[in-house]
């Protein structure tokens, strides 16, 4: 198992101070930016699938400012031929991810960045249920030959220390169980841990949950570092 963050549990605990209770929750319908139609895929180029909720889809930022778009630009600048598919949906849960699984598998991805579970946690779903759904997703993608990168998340502090601890540890446990790479905290680097409020308007939107365009630049770098060792496999 590989990780891409120093002292992840400290980051998970402190960064969550600025994480509002709408992590990935669906915004009012009139504030949703319609997702563009998926581009036609080149069968000769390997696919990186960004599979997740609103943190992946790019809530309230332009399509070319989402992390999958930023990641695509970084890959091209580094000379990689991969094509990134943004398969994020606002409000998506792990059970919703299972419902979309066959369509995702049809894309035959080489690498999957799996960012799900936040909306389940906000609903108080038992962690074992979330873990089981994520394990099913990881297993299915790996059976198709994909490298799966698990992206860790956290929850607002009012969900209680025991539930939060179990939720946070779930991601590391999954990565260890399946021997897959782990991003301990998907929003690593977006929050000033000394003054969390100072990050609002810089790297985080006013809701305290979703990255700004500048924030997604950091997320793209985090993801790029996580997948880089697997790009030439």
Catalytic residues: 54, 207, 210
Question: Cβ atoms within 10 A of the Cβ of 105, count?
Answer: 16
Vertex 104, ends 28 and 220: CA angle to 5°? 65
Tokens 């994909």 locate to: 146
> SS3 of 76, please?
helix
Spatial separation of the C-alpha atoms in residues 24 and 122, rounded to whole Å: 9
Q: What is the DSSP string of 142-175?
A: HHTT-EEEEEP----GGG-HHHHHHHHHHHHHHH
Tokens 């991969």 locate to: 82
Q: Closest Cα partner for 121 from 146, 94, 139?
A: 94
**CA separation (Å) from 1 to 12, 78, 169, 173, 175?**
19, 25, 14, 10, 6
Structure-token pair, residue 105:
């598998």
């Amino acid at each position: 198992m590989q990780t891409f963050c120093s002292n992840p549990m400290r980051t998970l605990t402190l960064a969550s101070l600025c994480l509002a209770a709408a992590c990935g929750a669906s915004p009012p319908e009139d504030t949703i930016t319609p997702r563009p139609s998926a581009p036609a895929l080149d069968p000769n180029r390997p696919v990186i699938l960004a599979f997740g909720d609103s943190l992946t889809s790019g809530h309230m930022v332009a399509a070319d400012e989402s992390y999958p778009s930023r990641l695509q630009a970084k890959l091209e600048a580094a000379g990689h031929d991969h094509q990134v598919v943004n398969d994020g949906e606002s409000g998506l849960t792990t059970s919703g991810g299972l419902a979309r699984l066959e369509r995702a598998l049809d894309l035959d991805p080489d690498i999957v960045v799996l960012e799900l579970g936040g909306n389940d946690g906000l609903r108080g779903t038992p962690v074992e249920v979330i873990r089981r759904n994520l394990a099913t997703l990881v297993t299915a993608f790996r059976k198709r030959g994909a490298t799966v990168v698990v992206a860790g998340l956290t929850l607002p502090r009012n969900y209680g220390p025991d539930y939060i601890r179990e939720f946070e540890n779930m991601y590391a446990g999954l990565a260890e169980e399946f021997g897959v790479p782990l991003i301990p905290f998907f929003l690593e680097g977006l929050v000033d841990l000394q003054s969390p409020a100072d990050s609002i308007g810089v790297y985080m939107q006013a809701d305290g949950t979703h990255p700004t365009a500048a924030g997604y630049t950091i997320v793209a770098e985090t993801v790029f570092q996580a997948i880089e060792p697997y790009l030439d496999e």
